[in-house]
Structure formats: structure tokens, C-alpha cells
Structure 1
Amino acid sequence: VRFTFAIPRGNDGSNGSDGSQGPPGEISQAQLDSAISGTSANTNGVSTLDTAFADPDMEAMRQKLNEMILNGRR
């Protein structure tokens, strides 16, 4: 069995009208704030590990995991 894939190449363009990446531009602080607002809520569906482990190494790992989850909610 032999597979052949042909991926079409896009046209080179300077204005981005053909789907190519345009030149980078400046953004305002308000645009940045709008883009990242509410992203900390992404971890709300992830529950922390509430049952302690008897093994000290695993307990330390559980505490660090919970710390990461809770810090993501800021």
C-alpha cells in the first residue's frame, strides 16, 4: 500500500487577502485586556484533589497540583 498526499500551496501576497499572514501590528492595552479577560475561569471545571495521601511524596505532589489549579483561577 502506498499513500501519496498533495498539500496545495498558497499564493504569495503582500496584503494578506489570500490568507497569508500580514505584517504584525500594534494593539492597545484595552484590546489585550479584552482578549485575556475571563481566561482564568478555564480552570473552574477542574476540581482539586481533596483526599490526602499517606505517602509523603505523593502528598507533596497533591498539594502542588492543588496549588497550580487554584493559582490558575486568579
Structure 2
Amino acid sequence: MDRQQIVTRDPEVMNGALVFAGTRVPVEILIQHLAAGDSIDKFLDDFPSVSREQTVGYLEMTLHEAEAA
């Protein structure tokens, strides 16, 4: 899955926040869920418009970018 299938940013969607592609769900919400101790399954239950593939893809992409820094 490439980046455009995982996340997008558009000034006309959620004021330009980074969101999961095809949704209005900011990736920040995933981070908040994980920081609160929630599982990925809990996040996906709360936001069914986000796919598991997008969620895992975002986490893998973030880890890859952090390791490259």
C-alpha cells in the first residue's frame, strides 16, 4: 500500500489535518487511542471507515521515517 492510499492532506478536509485516505479521520486520533492504551481493534471499532491495512500501513510508515531520521 503506498502513502496516497494510507494518508492524505487537503486544506479543504479537516482544515488540512493529516487524515486516513478516503476518510475524515485524522491520524492524530489513532495516536491518541494508542497513547491511552487502546488497541488497534478498539480504534477500528470506533472508526470503521479506516481499514486495518491503512492503520498498520501508517504505523509502519511512521516507524520507517523515524528510523531514517
**TM-score for both structures, normalised by structure 1:** 0.29
Q: Computing the radius of gyration over CA atoms, which structure comes out larger, 1 or 2? A: 1
Q: Which has the higher contact order (CA 8 A, sep 6+)?
A: 2
TM-score, structure 2 length as denominator? 0.31
Q: Which structure has more helix as a fraction of its residues?
A: 2
Which structure has the highest strand share of the two?
2
